[in-house]
Structure 1
């Protein structure tokens, strides 16, 4: 067994253009940084249009990729992919099957989609860098029920789809507003505007008692203030955590991945429910937690010796030019992290390389095909912002020039 083990993690990768021709010096710096990883991990934020075909299942925010985009990721050094995300079902079950086939044929460690629910929940497992690595990948929505994998029953065939962490999003409102909503709901129902048909393709979301109501697909909960509430289904979470526990008990290095779009109003803020679930994954035996969804760099925490990356933003982000909502600079800035473990299996340090998709120069920014190593003031801004947000979670980041480092944390062994 090697004396050291390294896992390199990046922001999410949504790519539609083959970038293997790009030879920009600072892109090559990023690729050199990735080479140190025994595991090089990203979320493949797309679905493959391949042998099974497929058709669009949504409107504006629809994406798919050609199979050679996986070759591009492999050429960059990636060998581990999370596949659970909001674009994984954009071509329907056919896209899921095509993606599985193309990823399998290239030998990626992968997890997050499957031919049915049982298959989608299975971790990917592979020997990498003299370690047995198990990858768990989940999506917490919000998404239509029919994008998630489902097992066969007596009345229904199996559905290929995404591995789901079941959540319910509720909106908290004050007592006065709740009464008004309840009165309006009653008036609408009296006018024969029934609820059931307005929930399709999903089933109506159940409500708990008189303090909640389902207003045509949105659950409102009476409370002291206006707020958004995301509740994780405890039984479903227990299933996922039990699977993590089993992988850890056999000595695997366990990566837990979560994708979600339940963003806070301030996109760089970490939702409390995500922190709670991330810590539960570590308590179950995960050695590393990574999350994407919000297209910005959030914070990181070291919990019981395990890194928790609450949001690594974007690494490759090939979105249509007409989607102007992604114009903020922070959407195009992130870090790449190399987590180093000693021979004893304890986290030793984390090296951080700040990146800017397209670079700082305006001519390059119009193309924005690949991430470039950030330099100068931009690099310091990325690292200092990351350090400030992470300090709230007790993590100190040392900044030296255009790089950062998190030093040895409380010991946590694997294997």
Structure 2
């Protein structure tokens, strides 16, 4: 059999050759994708009093695809599911009415792989799936086994069929889906990309750590690595700048790339999306592995790579005529949730007989997620309540124009009302867009600001 230069076999048709399983993009001109970050929703909003929300939702009206990351569970906790002992830092839950509400907003595709996918157990995961299916919202990233969780899911639009592949680098260990093995059945859960974390230190620090390791109880000598040492389960390696470095699991990478390629073979356009907190929610820069991996995804057939999870904005890159969003921050951030599991009361030193659910979640926002070593990732700063809606328009199967609409989520409002987007205008809009300008400069992306809107015109960018 003959092969195309991209490695795919050729078959003869009508006297010529065509590629089997082509990963070419094939949408009609004018195809538009509206993209947002995390949907941290606790209750429906479209019928409520939220000034400015309707103006934001108008942005979605002409989009073929409207995408966001569903970082919550949709179920009635009085009769379904239960708060798990292992959860994503908070028990994210929404009322059953959220399904119709998401549809009314205009969302037709959402990702499901994130650290809150199994906050309410497998039953909560399944109830969420049913709520989305009943409202015609396509989701990916969660399923009855790894094959289902990792597979691309498809949305039919007037300008082409769209695939979505969802995975996460931030997850609880027991939430990871797996496939059957022999007589053992598969495990329900999410599509994970496992990372190995290294602490990067200067060379002169490494020898001191090596001496510490050698006097710890239970130390057994192993192969000597001049640039790396592990102490009490933490890996350290040398580098030019102190920080964190991440290595991707090759098995997970292979599965994700295959699912992207397969998704594109069965569609006209493919979105790949990752929920990742690395290197930390304090960082406005992506982790060191991500640019290389993002480009591999696009080379495999993805037409857009969307990151969410840090809950703040990071830069934008245009690679081979396709957008890479290194984080789109929050689109919703409703901090008050109910009910709250007993484990979360304990984590924040609260008593469910005395304290309320609201008092627990206020502490969560102020202190961050609880860990064995204390609290990390406090999210009370303004940057967690400022973001953009990104609208990508494609012509001739390449990104022609990217429009960035700045939004704010009402950080100054009382907790019961904050977290719902409205348009950012004037100095606030300019501040958000200028921050995004600066964050995108290292990727060669030029954002122009016109009338409180950011514009990326692709002719001015070298891919």
TM-score, normalised with respect to structure 2: 0.78
Q: Distance in 2 between matches of 1:245 and 1:128?
A: 20
SS at match of 1:21: coil
How big is the shift at 1:213? 4.8
State the Cα RMSD in Å: 2.8
What's the offset of the Cα at 1:174?
4.5
1:148 to 172, 176, 200: 176
Match of 2:418 in 1: 368
Match of 2:21 in 1: none
Equivalent in the alignment of 1:318: 334
SS in 1 for 2:62: coil
Q: Indicate yes or no: 2:452 matched with 1:394.
A: no
* Post-superposition offset of 1:295: 1.1
Partner in structure 2 of residue 221 of structure 1: 237
Contact 2:30 2:394 in 1 (8 A): yes
Q: Does 1:159 pair with 2:187?
A: yes
CA offsets 1:43-87 (integer angstroms, 9 cap, x no match): 001223357513322385332223222322222111110001111
Greater alpha carbon shift after TM alignment, 300-309 vs 155-164 = 155-164
1:288 and 1:173 mapped to 2: Cα distance?
34
1:39-54 to structure 2, matched below 5 A, reads: 39-50=65-76, 52-54=80-82
CA contact (8 A) 1:173 1:226 kept: yes
The 5 A counterparts of 1:276-295 are 276-295=292-311
Shift of 1:37: 1.0
Q: Is residue 245 from structure 1 mapped to residue 250 from structure 2 by the alignment?
A: no
Q: Which secondary structure does the structure 2 equivalent of 1:326 belong to?
A: coil
Deviation at 1:220, TM superposition (A): 2.9
Instruction: Tell me how far apart the structure 2 counterparts of residues 91 and 22 of structure 1 sit (CA, whole Å).
Output: 26
The answer as to whether partners of 1:13 and 1:316 remain within 8 angstroms in 2 is: yes
* Equivalent position of 1:348 in the other structure: 400
2:428 match: secondary structure: helix
| TM superposition shift of 1:35 | 1.2
8 Å contact kept, 1:136–1:244: yes
CA contact (8 A) 2:65 2:109 kept: yes
Q: Does 1:109 align with 2:138?
A: yes
What is the match of residue 261 of structure 1?
A: 277
Aligned counterparts of 1:214 and 1:64: Cα–Cα separation in 2: 38
1:126-173 alpha-carbon deviations (Å, 9 max, x no partner)? 2123311000011012x3322110122247442111101121112234
Distance 1:398 1:64, change over 3 A: same
Matched ranges for 1:88-107 at <5 A: 88-107=117-136
Task: Tell me the alpha carbon deviations over residues 345-374 of structure 1, each in whole angstroms, 9 at most, x when there is no partner.
Answer: 232211111000027xx4578721410001
Kept after mapping to 1: 8 A contact 2:386/2:409 = yes
User: How much does 1:245 deviate?
Assistant: 2.0
Greater shift, 157-166 or 169-178, is seen at: 169-178
- How far is the alpha carbon of 1:28 from its aligned partner? 1.3
The Cα of 1:108 is off from its aligned counterpart by 1.0
Residue 411 (structure 1) shift: 11
Task: Say which of 391, 395, 414 aligns to 1:338.
Answer: 391
Unaligned 5+ residue runs, structure 1? 195-205
Residue equivalent to 2:375: none
Shift of 1:185: 4.3
Aligned counterparts of 1:93 and 1:346: Cα–Cα separation in 2: 39
Moved more, 100-109 or 311-320: 100-109
| CA deviation after TM superposition for structure 1 residue 188, in Å | 4.2
Distance 1:345 1:113 in 2: 29
The alpha-carbon distance between structure 1 residues 276 and 77, as it changes in their structure 2 partners (threshold 3 A), is same
Cα distance, 1:277 vs structure 2: 1.1
1:274 aligns with 2:315: no
**Unaligned stretches of 5+ in structure 2?**
1-26, 336-360, 367-377
Residue 435 of structure 2 aligns with which residue? 385
1:310-362: CA deviation from partner (whole Å, max 9, x where unpaired)? 100001012222221222111100010111123x3232211111000027xx4
Rate the CA distance shift 1:174–1:4 in 2: closer, same or farther, 3 A.
closer
The structure that has the greater radius of gyration is 2
Q: Which moved more, 1:67-76 or 1:182-191?
A: 182-191
Q: Which residue matches 1:28?
A: 54
**Separation in structure 2 between the aligned mates of residue 265 and residue 373 of structure 1, nearest angstrom:** 24
What is residue 197 of structure 2 aligned with on the other side? 169
**1:17 aligns to 2:43 (yes or no):** yes
